[in-house]
C-alpha cells in the first residue's frame, strides 16, 4: 500500500524558534497534500491543502504567515511553524492523495508531535 512518512516524529523546541516538518510520499506521486493538526483528546482539524507547484489553501483561522507550507515536488511537502509558541504544541499529521486514477483514499503519515517550551 501507499506509504507516507513524516520527519521528525517528535520535536521539542524553544518558544520563538521555527520548526520544519517534512512529509514524503514514498511510493506514489502526491498531487495533493493536506496538513492536519490534532490537540490532545480532540479530532483532526484541517489546516491547509497544498497542490504541487502552487500556493497552499489555508483553512479559516490558520495563519499562512505562521504555518508556511511548501509543496515543491510530487513527493515532498514541508510545514514550517515559524516563531513557535507553547500554544502551537500539537500533533501535526500530513496526508497525501495520489491524483492519478480513481483512488479516493488519502494516505496518512504517522504524525509529528511538536512541543514548544
Partner 1 sequence: SQQGEEDPQALSIQEGENATMNCSYKTSINNLQWYRQNSGRGLVHLILIRSNEREKHSGRLRVTLDTSKKSSSLLITASRAADTASYFCATLVYAPGNTPLVFGKGTRLSVIA
* Nearer to partner 1 (CB atom), residue 57 or residue 82: 57
Q: Which is nearer to partner 1, 74 or 99 (CB)?
A: 99
* Residue with smaller CB distance to partner 1, 29 or 42: 42
Contact between 114 and 14 (Cβ < 8 Å): no
- Least distance (Å) from partner 1 to the CB of residue 62? 12
End-to-end CA distance of the chain: 37
Shortest separation between residue 53's beta carbon and partner 1, angstroms: 13
The kind and range of the H/E element at 93 are strand 90-98
Shortest distance, position 83 Cβ to partner 1, whole Å:
26
Dist CA 17 CA 4 (whole Å): 26
Amino acid at each position: 500500500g501507499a506509504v507516507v512518512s513524516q520527519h521528525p516524529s517528535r520535536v521539542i523546541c524553544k518558544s520563538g524558534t521555527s520548526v520544519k516538518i517534512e512529509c514524503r510520499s514514498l511510493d506514489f506521486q502526491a498531487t495533493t497534500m493536506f496538513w492536519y493538526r490534532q490537540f490532545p483528546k480532540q479530532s483532526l482539524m484541517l489546516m491547509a491543502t497544498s497542490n504541487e507547484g502552487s500556493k497552499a489553501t489555508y483553512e479559516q483561522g490558520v495563519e499562512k504567515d505562521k504555518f508556511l507550507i511548501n509543496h515543491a515536488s510530487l513527493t515532498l511537502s514541508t510545514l514550517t511553524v515559524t516563531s513557535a509558541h507553547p500554544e502551537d504544541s500539537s500533533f501535526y499529521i500530513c496526508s497525501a492523495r495520489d491524483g492519478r486514477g480513481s483512488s479516493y483514499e488519502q494516505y496518512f503519515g504517522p504524525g509529528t508531535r511538536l512541543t514548544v517550551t
